DNA sequence: TTTGACCTTACCCTTAGGGGAAGGGTTATC
DNA sequence: GATAACCCTTCCCCTAAGGGTAAGGTCAAA
């Protein structure tokens, strides 16, 4: 039975984050003591650890919620979980490709810029083009 | 002398975005007609085009502001511009690397998940680990 | 004159919390 | 007993880049 700051220390989350997860109903409502202080039994610590791991893997909080529900559902099929993961992989790969394109174009423009004390600059020129 | 929606059409921006850029002082304050309608002379359209291009290259609005100021500064040196671009390239490349790592780990975990009707799932297991 | 299309400001919503205020609880020390 | 040093609570505002919508003013054509 740990306090919120102890739960934060154990999970690497901030106190703010833990309260936030409660507010958006990502985790179960923690019990309180007589003076209103939250405390965190193991079951809640497990939920928090799960969220930390899923977040680190690239899932946002809404996705964490779905995954956490699946993790606690005895009758889940791993197919559902795998679909979500594969979708996330595709999503990240798409983002990567887009950023690679971006960086490629930016490099091309940047190479043409002399980078000296003169004002003439291919980067500025490229951004000044209409359309 | 075009209206805001015409400026939006010309630049591919939304009316909301154009008003937003004005609010955060990213562009010059547009003149108004007698009834308070904004209108956009060529100089403002050029600023908007510049922002569109710089944004597309991966710069955020604060960075666009700096670049736009440089573009309008006769006494700039291209060195300053190039430094900003090179920094942005590094930043994007770092993000790409991180996402590649992410996707790699996620793929590794996902491969171990049978993806069938059973509940046993390596993805859930991976996220359930403390620490 | 009325309709439709345009314009204005103002407010709330999004993500994932951070910062800080104002106030209450607990413990150790003086 | 008082006070300091922390812990906890709720509440509100802030971030980036706008989107959505409401309420109301303007303008041109039918």
Distance A91 CA to C10 C1' (A): 37
Which ranges constitute the DSSP H helices of chain A?
Answer: 4-11, 15-23, 42-56, 61-71, 78-111, 122-128
Closest-approach residue (CA) in chain A for B47:
A128
Quick one: average pLDDT of A93-110?
Answer: 97
Q: How confident is the model at residue B1 (pLDDT cuts 50, 70, 90)?
A: confident
For tokens 């490099």, the residue is A107
* Chain A 36-75 residues in 7 Å CB range of strand C: 55, 60-62
- B131 in A contact zone (CB under 8 Å): yes
SS3 state of residue B38 = strand
For residue B72, give both structure tokens. 């309008």
Alpha-carbon span A1 to B64, nearest angstrom = 50
Q: Are B52 and B12 in contact (CB under 8 A)?
A: yes
pLDDT at position A126 over 80: yes
Average model confidence (pLDDT) across chain A: 97
pLDDT at A131 over 70: no
Report pLDDT digits (tens) over A47-87. Answer: 999 999 999 999 999 999 999 999 999 999 999 999 999 99
Q: Which residues does A127 contact at the CB level (< 8 Å), separation at least 6? A: B50, B53, B54, B57, B67, B71
Residue keyed to tokens 């984050």: A17
**pLDDT of B131 above 80:** no
Q: What's the pTM value of the predicted model, to 2 decimals?
A: 0.93
Q: In whole angstroms, give the CA distance from residue B30 to residue B38.
A: 6
Confidence tier at A130 by pLDDT (50, 70, 90) = confident
**Integer Cα distance of A121 and B81 in angstroms:** 8
The average pLDDT across B25-53 equals 97
How many Cα atoms occupy the beta-carbon half-sphere of B76 within 13 Å?
Answer: 25
| B41-80 b/e (C-beta count within 10 Å ≥ 16 → b) | eeebbbbbbbbbbbbebbbeeebbbebbebbeeeebbbeb
Query: What percentage of chain B exceeds 90 in pLDDT?
Result: 98
The answer to whether the Cβ–Cβ distance between A115 and B74 falls below 8 Å is no
Q: Give me the residue from B89, B110, B126 closest to A82, CB to CB.
A: B110
The reply to whether A110 has its C-beta less than 7 Å from any atom of strand D is no
pLDDT band at A7 (very low <50, low <70, confident <90, very high): very high
Mean pLDDT across B70-94: 97
Contacts (Cβ under 8 Å, ≥6 apart) of B61: B21, B24, B26, B51, B55
Q: Which of residues 27-56 of A touch strand D (CB under 7 A)?
A: 32, 36-38
Q: Is the Cβ of B79 closer than 8 Å to some Cβ of chain A?
A: yes
Structure tokens at A72: 């606690």
From the CA of A22 to the C1' of D5: give the distance in Å.
28
What pLDDT, on a 0 to 100 scale, did the predictor assign at position A21? 98
From the CA of B15 to the C1' of D29: give the distance in Å: 25
The CA dihedral of A12, A17, A19, A21, to the nearest 10 degrees, is -100
- Residue B68 confidence class, pLDDT cut points 50, 70, 90: very high
Distance B29 CA to C3 C1' (A): 33
The band of B103, judged by pLDDT with boundaries at 50, 70 and 90, is: very high
Q: Which residue of A has its CA nearest to B93?
A: A103
User: pLDDT tens for residues A34-52?
Assistant: 999 999 999 999 999 999 9
Contact between the CB of A20 and strand D at under 7 Å: no
State the pLDDT at residue B130.
84
Give contacts of A 25-44 with B, CB under 8 A: none
Question: CB-hemisphere CA count at 13 Å for B114?
Answer: 9
Residue A105's pLDDT is 96
CA dihedral A20, A22, A24, A26 (to 10 degrees): 110
CA distance A52 to A12: 8
């Amino acid at each position: 039975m740990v306090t919120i700051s102890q739960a934060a220390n154990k999970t690497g989350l901030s106190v703010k984050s833990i309260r936030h997860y409660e507010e958006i109903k990502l985790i179960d409502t923690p019990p309180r003591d007589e003076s209103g202080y939250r405390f965190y039994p193991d079951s809640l610590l497990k939920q928090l650890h799960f969220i930390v791991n899923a977040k680190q893997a690239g899932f946002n909080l809404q996705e964490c919620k779905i995954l956490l529900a699946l993790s606690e559902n005895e009758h889940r099929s791993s197919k559902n979980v795998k679909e979500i993961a594969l979708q996330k992989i595709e999503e990240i790969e798409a983002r990567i490709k887009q950023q690679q394109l971006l960086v490629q174009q930016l490099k091309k423009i940047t190479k043409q810029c002399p980078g000296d004390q003169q004002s003439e600059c291919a980067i500025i020129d490229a951004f000044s083009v209409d359309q």
